[in-house]
Amino acid sequence: MNRFSRQIILPGFGGEAQMKLQAAKVLIIGAGGLGCPNILYLAAAGIGHICIVDGDNVSESNLNRQVIFGEAEIGINKAQAAAHYLKSKYSDIKIQYVPEFLTPDNVATFISPYDIVVDGTDNFTTRYLVNDACVLLGKPLVFAAIYQNEGQVAVFNATSGAVNYRDLYPEPPKENEIPNCSETGVLGVLPGIIGTMQAAETIKLITGYGKPLVDKMLYYNLLSHQTYEMALSKNPDAHRHIPKDLEELATRNYAALCDAEEAVSWKDALKGLEINPKNVLIDVREPHEMPRLTKWKHMNLPLSTSSIITPEIENAESIYLFCQTGIRSLRMARDLKKELSGKNIYSVIGGIESPDAPLN
């Protein structure tokens, strides 16, 4: 008996499938609501080499769904905490972690050594970045995403010529971006179910056991338990949106999802703040979102609270808004523009996750 005996005796699985799991190298991007079940079940199943990438730290509001973490991990990097937990459980698999956010210039380096990529991220910026990198590197991508009480699961790019995320949605949503869990709420069991389905797809893809969702997408509704599966098709419009090579990918600004006139770089925003002390910097994230900005004077105006125009905002000539990735702040910049005419209102590209954010 060994720790895999119950799956090895499963008809049609067997020792050969187990050896394939042992030989597999899987990169799990995001150790959040989707990432946690992937991490737990892929390690339990005996994937020989797992690497977890996440630049975020655990916060208290993560705990309803990110079940690897508890109160003791609040403030600790998620990838590090998850890897530490796995190492305490299993000595027979290789576990690595990268406590960083993926960016256009590091994504290829992180993905290249692995056979399969699991996308457990929580924003379109990273999802498109990961998709494009997987297409250019020829890596199968096991995809999942959630919205309120629904989830999507798919396997992209499993073979050459296979469908990828851009075949379904050639370009990221521009305005009125689909809100994420921080804004709309989520029951922890939903990413638990969807992330577990995603882990199952990874195991099926590696071993050839059953029929993975290759070039298919499954929708799941938690409230009705209904599923809806459809076949995906190549989209003639998709290919031109993917960078032609890794070099072009590395220089593309994924965070600026659209050519927004309101978008500015951190460099320009900080310059604007230095030039005119009346100008204001505003964090529009919810209070629990990390990391907080401590090096620069700023105000907090979470999107969930109704906007309050303070005298400081009234007096400013330019207002710079930032959020986690630059998406919500762009939406708020557009809303504020309607309320405050005659002011320059900007959204900082890439938000606090931008490598240019003044965190140090």
Helix (H, G, I), strand (E, B) or coil at 322: strand
| Interaction between residue 32 and another protein (CB under 8 A) | yes
| Interaction between residue 144 and another protein (CB under 8 A) | yes
The single residue among 22, 64, 115, 169 that binds another protein, judged by CB under 8 A, is: 169
323 annotated active-site: yes
| Interaction between residue 191 and another protein (CB under 8 A) | yes
Type of residue numbered 184: T
What is the CB neighbour count within 10 angstroms for residue 283? 22
Which span sits near another protein by CB under 8 A: 39-47, 95-103, 178-186, 307-315? 178-186
The single residue among 228, 275, 294, 312 that binds another protein, judged by CB under 8 A, is: 228
Residue among 264, 229, 208 at smallest CA distance from 153: 229
**Closer to another protein by Cβ: residue 215 or 283:** 215
| Interaction between residue 236 and another protein (CB under 8 A) | yes
- Among 36, 51, 134, 323, the one annotated catalytic: 323
Q: Is the dihedral of CA 178, 143, 325, 134 positive or negative?
A: negative
| Interaction between residue 127 and another protein (CB under 8 A) | yes
Burial class (CB in 10 A: 0-12, 13-18, 19+), 257: buried
DSSP letters for 28-79:
EE--STTHHHHHHHHHHHT-SEEEEE--PBP-GGGTTT-TT--GGGTTSBHH
Residue among 126, 77, 79 at smallest CA distance from 103: 126
The single residue among 56, 73, 122, 283 that binds another protein, judged by CB under 8 A, is: 122
Catalytic positions are: 181, 323
- Per CB under 8 A, residues contacting another protein are 30, 32-35, 119-124, 127, 144-148, 150-152, 168-169, 171, 173, 175-178, 180-181, 184, 186, 191, 217, 219, 221, 228-233, 235-237
